[in-house]
Structure 1
């Protein structure tokens, strides 16, 4: 791995944790010698990508990360295409809606617009989740490339000691998601939360993100088909905008 990639590896590890991180943990996460890690941290500190807490010595994202995130929110072609549709879906459904993507072994929430109705949900903008549990993860997995899908399924099987039969059942579920064009889940990430997720494409087949509506299970019982239709339609409109 080139030195420039190792610097980015350190930055990625800090960003993923979502909390200040001690050097010893970064050594474990990156596999880099402590002397090398400190050298890369000095470069990142100099450019404002990370900062070190004056008292605790823990490392966290720096002020330049805020500037980059603001630029993504304001100028990203995906966010520009999706923002209005997300807001409209929140208004029409009265529920919370998120935009999520797959990134380096995690499902990352790019945007989350909450409804005025109560929802106890762990999804928040910038937060990362696993790649196999929940409607968002399963939709991303089902519509991703066959190579990436198999890699993630193998990784998950090893991490959770899944049997061959369990993996086969999950692959059949992913095939069904592909056929119907959306994924649903209940209690898989957050207890008492039902969700539906539809893929967003750039070009004809390039999966770029997934649009997910989340609602309390009790409140969604009589509206699930309506929520599915609304979410799929909104995702399709975003995809059409991204065609041009």
Structure 2
């Protein structure tokens, strides 16, 4: 089982980074022996799951992963199930909305409905973001299993842990996360958890330019909560 976990951890680490990573970097980041990392990289490379980066000694996602990404975006149950709710939220709020899910090393946008109004933000379908910045990531950390959140906290220094834990406590107390400019300057965001039974499945996030959001932020919070509740009810009674 440990061999399989190491292979998946290395693969996830490579996929989650925006730049190529070599064997030594992977070994240091994941605390896996260098000899083991080399062995796993050979297996992943042979299967086309990773490939050598151009003009770099590091590795990036391989050709096999491209087809998987296309298939996920086309057939993802989450994206298809939640699209009507996103469309309704955007129609009512006139702002951008997204479904964000957790992965071991980042958050992933699996469904996105863009606002008819201008919004400059980093979120895109299939896009990855930090696990510790922004309303989406912090709401995920606040509501997912504690052992998973603890693994993320262990990567931070004491001051960062203390600050983040205070934010997570606030999010769990009020039931949603808020952020301003943590990922993109002057972008306001609110996120509510999407739960299947007692397990966090995703978060529903509404984003808007801060200058617009500050004029009616409570309305945006209420609308996001309304559609998050509808999704949660749908998951409880899918038929």
Shared fold per TM-score greater than 0.5? yes
Instruction: Specify every segment of 5 or more residues in structure 2 that has no aligned partner in the other structure, as ranges.
Output: none
Q: Which moved more, 1:59-68 or 1:25-34?
A: 25-34
**TM-superposed deviation, 1:160:** 4.7
Structure 1 partner of 2:58: 58
**CA distance in structure 1 between the aligned counterparts of 2:185 and 2:148, rounded to whole angstroms:** 28
| Deviation beyond 6 Å, 4+ runs, structure 1 | none
Structure 2 partner of 1:114: 114
Q: Which moved more, 1:36-45 or 1:24-33?
A: 24-33
**CA distance in structure 2 between the aligned counterparts of 1:168 and 1:26, rounded to whole angstroms:** 27
Instruction: Evaluate the alpha carbon distance shift between residue 195 and residue 57 of structure 1 in structure 2; reply closer, same or farther with a 3 A threshold.
Output: same
| TM-score of the aligned structures, taking structure 2 as reference length | 0.82
Q: How many residues align?
A: 236
**CA distance in structure 2 between the aligned counterparts of 1:167 and 1:60, rounded to whole angstroms:** 30
**CA distance in structure 2 between the aligned counterparts of 1:103 and 1:78, rounded to whole angstroms:** 14
Structure 1 partner of 2:191: 197
**TM-superposed deviation, 1:136:** 1.6
Does the residue aligned with 1:112 lie in a helix, a strand or coil? strand
Residue 209 (structure 1) aligned with residue 206 (structure 2): no
Q: Is the 8 A contact 1:108 1:129 kept in 2?
A: no
Instruction: Evaluate the alpha carbon distance shift between residue 198 and residue 170 of structure 1 in structure 2; reply closer, same or farther with a 3 A threshold.
Output: closer
**CA distance in structure 2 between the aligned counterparts of 1:54 and 1:221, rounded to whole angstroms:** 45
**CA distance in structure 1 between the aligned counterparts of 2:78 and 2:64, rounded to whole angstroms:** 21
Which residues in structure 2 correspond to 1:1-244 (within 5 Å)? 2-53=2-53, 55-104=55-104, 106-124=106-124, 125-131=126-132, 133-145=133-145, 148=148, 151=150, 155=154, 159-162=157-160, 169-170=166-167, 172-178=169-175, 182-203=176-197, 205-243=198-236, 244=238
Q: Is the 8 A contact 1:196 1:231 kept in 2?
A: yes
Instruction: Specify every segment of 5 or more residues in structure 1 that has no aligned partner in the other structure, as ranges.
Output: none
Does the residue aligned with 2:56 lie in a helix, a strand or coil? coil
Q: Which moved more, 1:33-42 or 1:188-197?
A: 33-42
Q: Which moved more, 1:213-222 or 1:45-54?
A: 45-54
**TM-superposed deviation, 1:55:** 4.3
**TM-superposed deviation, 1:226:** 2.2
Does the residue aligned with 1:120 lie in a helix, a strand or coil? coil
Does the residue aligned with 2:127 lie in a helix, a strand or coil? coil
